[in-house]
Structure 1
Amino acid sequence: MPGRSGWSLVMSDRDDQKGEGQATGGTAPLSGASTEARIEALEAELQAAREEARRNQERWQRERADLENLKKRAAREQSETVKFANEAILKDLLPVVDNLERAVEHAQGGGNGQPLLEGVALVLRTLLDVLERHGVRRVETRGTRFDPAHHEAMAHIETVEHEPNAVIEEHQAGYCLSERLLRPALVTVAKAPGPKEPEPDANLAKGKGHG
């Protein structure tokens, strides 16, 4: 059997081995926890990166849609500008048409104005053709109902020969450029007759006379 000193050495060695075992066993859990924390941190960073990428994608899509809308609006405005570029010039030509129409009407009343009538009528037809080629059309009035979007009432006449609100006379033609009104047609509009005033009672009038 070992002596006291031998037992002391054996116990000392066992204590050293136990201490080493405890030290080794203690570091393993610490190392595992550190790895899990690192993985969680990386996953959090990855999730944050994905979220930022999603926001960037949405922002890019919105900006692209805004750019497309801007292009469409610019193209539409350019088309409108080209479509109505000659509006002022064509509007200034309308009084010429008015004067030619009046000249034709005046010549029709004379007996020796046939050449003048034919010449003015030819100019009028030519000018109207030019206006039509540029998209100008005359506002319809004959046989139509009054339309405040295209007509301007100069007078209202009570009549039973026409439906109420019907256009019965045109004083000045109206014109449109494509769908835009250059000027309204000046017209007279029919309206229903108002209630008739009651005729005075003849007997009542005689009674007042005797009184």
Structure 2
Amino acid sequence: MEEKQNVDEIEQNEVHHSEDSPDALEVDVEALQAQLVAMKEKNEQLEKDLAESKNHLARSVADLENARRRARKEKEDAVKYASVPLIESLLPVLDNFERALDAADNKEEAKGLLDGVEMVYRQLLQALSDSGLSMVEAVGMPFDPHVHNAVMQVDSTEHESGIVVEELQSGYRFRERVIRPTMVKIST
């Protein structure tokens, strides 16, 4: 008996819905269309957010890689130029050797001393050269403010204007970096 009562209720509901059915379907279709439009808009916004996130991620990865590359380069330079303070402290020693050689060159009795000083000078210069030190060429070269320090100008008929005519103090380069420019006289 209960089963018959349940079947009757279902039939009554179907009849009741079938009467309301055309209006209910129109409302449901309009509601579904509105939901569909809202879902499309939300989908578009999500796709836009996803694209922005991907772009942000790509930039972040690139920034990180650039930072790593910069840090690696700075570390390599620190190792590469770690000897610069030592070499800079030895440059006055080279200068004094050059002065001693110039002074002893004029005196014949100091020949043995001169030979010894020249030998020590060449040995020191070779050791520093093996470590990456080289002299900056100056005499006869066009003046370059990156490698020369002009302290005097002289009138010269032999040289064009702006040519180094005399080296007053040697300049040195450690690997690619100038650690002391050459002190020079230039022609005007």
2:94 is equivalent to residue 107 of structure 1? no
What is residue 149 of structure 2 aligned with on the other side?
152
Change (3 A) 1:37 1:113: same
- Asked which structure has the greater RCO (Cα within 8 Å, sep 6+), the reply is 2
Cα distance in 1 for partners of 2:98, 2:43 equals: 82
Task: Please state whether the residue corresponding to 1:112 is helix, strand or coil.
Answer: helix
Superposition TM-score, scaled by structure 2 size: 0.80
Change (3 A) 1:21 1:75: closer
Which amino acid counterpart does residue 110 of structure 2 have in structure 1? G
Number of the residue aligned with 1:69? 66
3-state DSSP of counterpart to 1:137: strand
Distance 1:33 1:189 in 2: 91
**Separation in 2 of the partners of 1:73 and 1:147?**
29
Find the partner of 1:83 among 67, 80, 102.
80
Q: Which runs of 5+ in 1 are unaligned?
A: 1-18, 192-211
Structure 1 position 113, deviation (Å): 2.5
Q: Displacement, 1:74?
A: 0.9
Which amino acid in structure 2 is aligned with residue 187 of structure 1? V
Structure 2: which 5+ residue stretches go unaligned? 1-15
* Whole-Å separation in 2 of the counterparts to 1:20 and 1:189: 108
C-alpha distance in structure 2 between counterparts of 1:20 and 1:42, whole Å: 28
Q: 1:188 aligns to what SS in structure 2? A: strand
Task: Indicate whether 1:38 and 2:35 are aligned.
Answer: yes
Identity %: 32
CA RMSD of aligned residues (A): 2.2
Per-residue deviation at 1:34? Answer: 2.8
Structure 2 residue 177 is the aligned partner of structure 1 residue 180? yes
Larger radius of gyration: 1
Query: Residue 178 of structure 1: CA displacement?
Result: 2.4
State the distance in 2 between where 1:39 and 1:129 align: 83
Alignment of 1:1-211 (within 5 A): 22-191=19-188
| Post-superposition CA distance 1:12-34 (Å, at most 9, x none) | xxxxxxx9865333223223223
Mapped to 2, the partners of 1:131 and 1:27 lie a distance apart of 96
Distance in 2, matches of 1:25 and 1:190, equals: 105
Opposite residue 130 of structure 2, the aligned amino acid is: R
**Structure 1 segments of 4+ aligned residues over 6 angstroms from their partners:** none
